[in-house]
Amino acid sequence: MNIGNLLNIINTHVPFSSAESWDNVGLLLGDENATISGIMTALDCTEEVVDETLENQCNTIICHHPLIFKGIKQITQEDGYGAILRKIIKHDLNIIALHTNLDVYPKGVNAMLADKLELINQHILNPESLSYYKVQVFIPKDHLIEFKNKLSAAGLAEEGDYQYCFFESPGNGQFKPIDGANPHIGELDQISSVEEYKLEFMIDYNQKQLAQQLVIQHHPYETPVFDFIELQREADYGLGMIGNLEKPMNAKAFAKHVKDKLKMPSVRFTGTLDDSIKTVAIIGGSGIGFEYDAINKGADIFITGDIKHHDALDAKISGVNLLDINHYSEYVMKEGLCGLLLDWLDDETTDFNIIASQVNTDPFVYL
Residues that bind Zn ion (CB under 5 A): 285, 330
Nearest to 305 by CA among 118, 103, 127, 16: 103
Q: Are 17 and 91 in contact (CB under 8 A)?
A: no
Q: Where are the beta strands (DSSP E) in 67-214?
A: 94-97, 120-140, 167-175, 192-204
Q: Which strand (E) or helix (H) includes residue 243?
A: strand 225-250
Residue 67 vs 345, nearer CB to Zn ion: 67
Rank residues 174 and 286 by Cβ distance to Zn ion and give the closer one: 286
**Rama region for 148: left / alpha / beta (φ>0; ψ in -120 to 50; rest):** alpha
Q: Which is nearer to Zn ion, 279 or 329 (CB)?
A: 329
Nearer to Zn ion, 324 or 330 (CB): 330
Residues β-bridged to residue 130 = 233
Q: Is 196 exposed, middle or buried (0-12, 13-18, 19+ CB in 10 A)?
A: buried
What is the rounded distance in angstroms from the CA atom of residue 98 to the CA atom of residue 197?
Answer: 47
Q: How far is the CB of 331 from Zn ion (least distance, A)?
A: 10
Smallest gap from Cβ 281 to Zn ion, in A, equals 17
Closest separation in Å from C-beta 50 to Zn ion: 19
Q: Which is nearer to Zn ion, 43 or 135 (CB)?
A: 43
Residue 240 Cβ vs Zn ion, minimum distance, rounded to whole Å: 13
- The closest of 125, 132, 140, 197 to 159, measured between CA atoms, is 132
Rounded least distance, CB 285 to Zn ion, Å: 3
Q: Which residue is nearest to Zn ion (CB)?
A: 285
Give least dist CB 272 to Zn ion, A: 28
Q: Which is nearer to Zn ion, 177 or 285 (CB)?
A: 285
- Rg (C-alpha) for the chain, rounded Å, is 27
Asked whether the beta carbons of 258 and 285 are under 8 A apart, the reply is no
